Structure 1
Amino acid sequence: MLHKNPTVKVFSQSQPSEKASPDALPADIVNAIEVDQVDTGLYTSRELWKPFGARGVFGGQVVAQALRAAANTVDASFYVHSMHCYFIRAGDNDLPILFKVDHLRSGRSYATRVIKATQRGKAIFTASVSFAQDEPGPVLHHQPQMPSVPPPESLRTHAEVVSVMLEKNNLSQEEQDRLLLRVQETAALDSRSVVHKSGKQDRQYTWLKTQGRLEDDDRTIHACIAAYASDRGFISTAAKTHGMTGRDFGLMVSLDHQIWFHAPFRTDEWLLYETTSPTTNNGRGLCMGQLYTRDGRLVATTVQEGALRLKRQSKA
């Protein structure tokens, strides 16, 4: 079944680029994950953006758009419960991405779709997505306890953190411009990180939500936005475990990304994203994440592996 694109409103922003002016803002989060249908099982990206300094299109946006395309091909009574993705090539933000959705199975309880994303005839991304119906009757339930961290209201926004850094006035003009661009690129989501005092950080904690209230209750929309947000800085968790930053690496890119959705949630309400990196080895880092609602429900689990290539002068 094909679904019409919903009318969802949050505050509107314009699309950024590597040459964005200090006043430019990224696309509104819902448009950022939306796709347009061009034929049966065939969709194109509506908007794309390339983070400052990145090799290609933001991976979380590709994940979210692929999920959105796949969800358009299942009945509205089905919801996504898992997604397994591979990043093959860097995406070009100057060219739309074409998403082809193949139907592997459409059963009574589960439906499976495979998505291939291409540009210029070459695959840049592939994913398999499984959808399910809600289970009737009694079901088992257990989960870990939500970490105890400061509430989001007590933490500074990303823009406020950058403002403090700029006020110190010990940054070059290039560094100042880079910070301002990063604020603009992340403005569609309100994210507030728990700051660690020590250099090496085994776990990262970030509160996040959309900047405005969504007018749509569609579980798919919220799942797509969470998929988008789940890739933001995910692989850097491995670097921070060693007390390092992206500047210590000649290459830091995502290779694959997995998400399991456990329960319904809203992305316009605060969610806590806990990330950790259990291992780095052979030029790759493995990261794991858990997404909690404010009242302590575990609603999603993520896993990602990425390539980490140190610069010659960096020491692990």
Structure 2
Amino acid sequence: MTNPAERLVDLLDLEQIEVNIFRGHSPQEHLQRVFGGQVAGQALVAAGRTTDGDRPVHSLHAYFLRPGRPGVPIVYQVERVRDGRSFTTRRVTAVQQGRTIFNLTASFHKPEEGGIEHQLPPRREVPPPESLPSVAEEIRAHLGSLPDALERIARRQPFDIRYVDGLRWTREEIEGAEPRSAVWMRAVGPLGDDQLVHTCALAYASDTTLLDAVRLPVEPLWGSRNFDIASLDHAMWFHRPFRADEWFLYDQESPIATGGRGLARGRIYDREGRLLVSVVQEGLFRTYEAPQGSDG
């Protein structure tokens, strides 16, 4: 397949090898570790495959325990914790080469009518995505061309990402910057009509830029990086149905960074300003000079 969106759908199409056991493909990438969003998305697929399908995911809570190895399959073991009248709960353990690398608990909720209705609006008005360059276009405009390594990544990137305030290339651009960032995103091609696929695709995308908000007060988003960054845990709450192949605004902020860890919160809106998903993630930030342990 040459279309990155088709590759994403294929990546999320797990092989069932037992009643509660699934195997996920892990592409051979030129990366130190498997992308965390891939593991989260595949684990959520495994959880969803063991439900009746009439209850959408309403939340997930996950821990990244060890870095996964690119090119090595990942096995997802599902525990059927609960099948209630309104809620279904699944616990998923991701194992690679005999070691647990990731844990996820997902809850599914039968849709209900009524109750309290309110939401926070988007933090500010932003330009429409059509008026902004993609990341690749912004880099080409700034450098004159895309470096070969980034060209390969861009060809495989399943999401079109457009930074509302640009990549912030210099320290002068981030002087006095608040720990906030915002991007428009959408899959680069159609993802079909299965809502679970869209939910898992968005779980994949949610790990892409969220920790940018932690970095912004101390370093530009482009250029040499002073930190080795790794996701530690990830939580999402899904409020409304959505399509990940339509534009959504990912508004991100970091309330605190201390002790080598940074916390980031994200709110995902559609073009009409409806809040679709809430996200919280903590990341590990180590200077490159710090000793690197085998488990993170």
TM-score by length of 1: 0.83
- Is 1:13 aligned with 2:30? no
2:65 aligned residue: 88
Q: Which position in structure 2 is the counterpart of 1:190?
A: 160
Match runs of 1:146-295 below 5 Å = 146=122, 147-167=124-144, 176-186=147-157, 188-196=158-166, 198-199=173-174, 200-216=177-193, 218-245=194-221, 247-295=224-272
Whole-angstrom CA distance in 2 between matches of 1:37 and 1:102: 14
1:131 to 1:276, Cα distance in 2 relative to 1, 3 A: same
Letter in 2 for 1:294: R
Q: Give CA-to-partner distance per residue, 1:130-161, whole Å, 9 cap, x none.
A: 0110013x221111112310000100112211
Equivalent AA in structure 2 for residue 105 of structure 1: R
CA distance in structure 2 between the partners assigned to 1:30 and 1:158 by the alignment = 22
| Residues 210 and 248 (structure 1), Cα distance of their counterparts in 2 relative to 1, 3 Å cut | closer
Q: Which residue in the other structure is 1:7 paired with?
A: none
In 2, the alpha carbon distance for the partners of 1:71 and 1:134 equals 16
Q: Which residue does 1:17 correspond to in 2?
A: none
Tell me the equivalent position of 1:101: 78
Give the paired residue count: 281
Per-residue CA distance 1:83-137 (angstroms, 9 max, x = gap): 001011111122100000001100010011000000111100011000110013x
Other-structure match for 2:293: none
Following the alignment from structure 1 to structure 2, what is the Cα–Cα distance between the partners of residues 228 and 306?
Answer: 16
In the other structure, the counterpart of 1:22 is: none
Tell whether the 8 Å contact from 2:6 to 2:191 is kept in structure 1 after alignment: no
Whole-Å separation in 2 of the counterparts to 1:88 and 1:156: 35
Q: In structure 2, the residue corresponding to 1:156 is in which secondary structure?
A: coil
Contact kept in structure 1, 2:219 and 2:225, CA below 8 Å: no
Match of 2:55 among 78, 83, 86: 78
Q: Mark the CA change 1:26 to 1:184 in structure 2 (over 3 Å): closer, same or farther.
A: farther
| CA shift for structure 1 position 240 | 1.3
Closer/same/farther in 2, CA of residues 193 and 250 from structure 1, 3 Å limit: closer
Within 5 Å, give how 1:103-122 maps onto structure 2: 103-122=80-99
2:126 corresponds to 1:144: no
Cα distance between partner residues in 2 of 1:76 and 1:27: 22
Do the aligned residues in 1 keep the contact of 2:179 with 2:216 (CA within 8 Å)?
yes
Aligned-partner Cα distance in 2 for 1:152–1:135:
33
Partner SS state of residue 147, structure 2: helix
Q: Would the alpha carbon gap of residues 162 and 182 (structure 1) be closer, same or farther in structure 2, given more than 3 Å must change?
A: farther
| Inter-partner Cα distance in structure 2 for 1:27 and 1:134 | 29
Alignment check: 8 A CA contact 1:31 1:47 kept: no
The residue matched to 1:241 in structure 2 has which SS? coil
Q: Which runs of 5+ in 1 are unaligned?
A: 1-11, 15-24, 170-174
Find the aligned partners of 2:260 and 2:152 in 1 and give their Cα distance.
Answer: 29
Give the 3-state SS of the residue equivalent to 1:55 in structure 2: coil
Q: Name the structure 2 match of 1:4.
A: none
Scaled by the length of structure 2, the TM-score of the pair is 0.88
Structure 2 runs not aligned, ≥5 long: 291-296
Distance 1:299 1:44 in 2: 29
CA distance in 2, matches of 1:149, 1:59: 28
Q: In structure 1, what is the Cα distance between the partners aligned to 2:277 and 2:270? A: 10
CA-to-partner distance for each residue in 1:243-288, whole Å, 9 max, x for gaps? Answer: 3458343421101111110110111111000111110000000011
1:237, CA displacement in angstroms? 2.2
- The counterpart of 2:11, out of the listed 29, 32, 41, is 32
